[in-house]
């Protein structure tokens, strides 16, 4: 199975900050990686697919990069609505696997 | 509006069974590959199962293989998860999820989830 290592587990930041979350993968998955945002009591929401493609309706301050085994999610100019938990997920092969999650909290 | 609505969750004793259902609306269900994903209380996301449009390809996580069975009825726009021999560690919120398709398999539509509690 493809193992996902997401870091950091918790990230403290302020409105206006630029933050980066890293997802490392145990084997090459080309660009078949997605990023999701989840708020308490809500299902996850797709932000980024194919490592760097922005899902329709997602603000342009979200961006993804990487290929192979290392990927990043960057949020520029954090907004109050962005404080949530973020997950990476590979869909290169089954079983699909998720990162452990990064909780983005207010500093 | 594209929507998935799960039902069928509840409290069940260890060793018991439950059948979860998910009804789709706002998109062509028969054209969509579907999955189940769960989230234990306070924990991360765990992918459980995939079923292809025609039911020809089915995959399971090792944690549920042999106990859970995924199925679908395209005429009823419905996805199912039969869960047998339930364990306390199966306690979680279960999400029905669509793959985006059109050459990409990211999980683009999620239901609100249905809660399963396995406890005596």
Q: Note the pLDDT of residue B101.
A: 85
Using DSSP's 3-state secondary structure scheme, residue B5 falls into strand
Cβ contact, residue pair A94, B59, below 8 Å: yes
pLDDT of residue A47: 98
Q: For B9-57, how does the pLDDT look when each residue is reduced to its tens digit (9 = 90+)?
A: 999 999 999 999 999 999 999 999 999 999 999 999 999 999 999 999 9
d(CA B82, CA B116): 12
> Distance between CA A73 and CA A91 in Å, rounded?
17
pLDDT given at position B103: 79
Chain A residues in contact with chain B using a Cβ-Cβ cutoff of 8 Å: 32, 34, 36, 38, 43-46, 49-50, 55, 87, 89, 91, 94-101
Give the pLDDT score at B88. Answer: 98
Distance in Å, alpha carbon of A69 to nearest chain B alpha carbon: 17
Average pLDDT over residues A30-41: 96
Mean pLDDT value of segment B72-79 = 98
Q: What is the 3 state secondary structure string of chain A?
A: CCCEEEECCEEEECCCCCEEEEEEECCCCCCCEEEEEECCCCCCEEEEECCCEECCCCCCCEEEEEECCEEEEEECCCCHHHCCEEEEEECCCCCCEECCCEEEEEC
Could you report the per-residue pLDDT of A38-91, keeping only the tens digit for each?
A: 999 999 999 999 999 999 999 999 999 999 999 999 999 999 999 999 999 999
**Does the pLDDT at position A96 exceed 90?**
yes
């Amino acid at each position: 199975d493809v193992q996902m290592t997401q870091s950091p587990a918790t990230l403290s930041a302020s409105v206006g900050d630029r933050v980066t979350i890293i997802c490392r993968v145990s084997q090459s998955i080309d660009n078949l990686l997605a990023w999701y945002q989840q708020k308490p009591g809500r299902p996850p929401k797709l932000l980024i697919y194919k490592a760097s493609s922005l899902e329709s309706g997602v603000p342009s301050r979200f961006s993804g990069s990487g290929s192979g085994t290392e990927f990043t999610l960057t949020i520029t100019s954090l907004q109050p609505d962005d404080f949530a938990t973020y997950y990476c997920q590979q869909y290169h092969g089954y079983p699909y696997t998720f990162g452990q999650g990064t909780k983005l909290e207010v500093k | 509006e594209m929507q998935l609505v799960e039902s069928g969750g509840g409290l069940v004793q260890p060793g018991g069974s439950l059948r979860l259902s998910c009804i789709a609306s706002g998109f062509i269900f028969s054209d969509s590959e579907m999955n189940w994903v769960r989230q234990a209380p306070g924990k991360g996301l765990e992918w459980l199962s995939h079923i292809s449009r025609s039911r020809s390809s089915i995959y399971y996580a090792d944690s549920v293989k042999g106990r859970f069975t995924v199925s679908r009825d395209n005429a009823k726009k419905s996805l199912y998860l039969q869960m047998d021999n339930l364990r306390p560690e199966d306690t979680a919120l279960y999400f029905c999820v669509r793959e985006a398709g059109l050459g990409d398999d990211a999980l683009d539509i999620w239901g609100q989830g249905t809660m399963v509690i396995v406890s005596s």
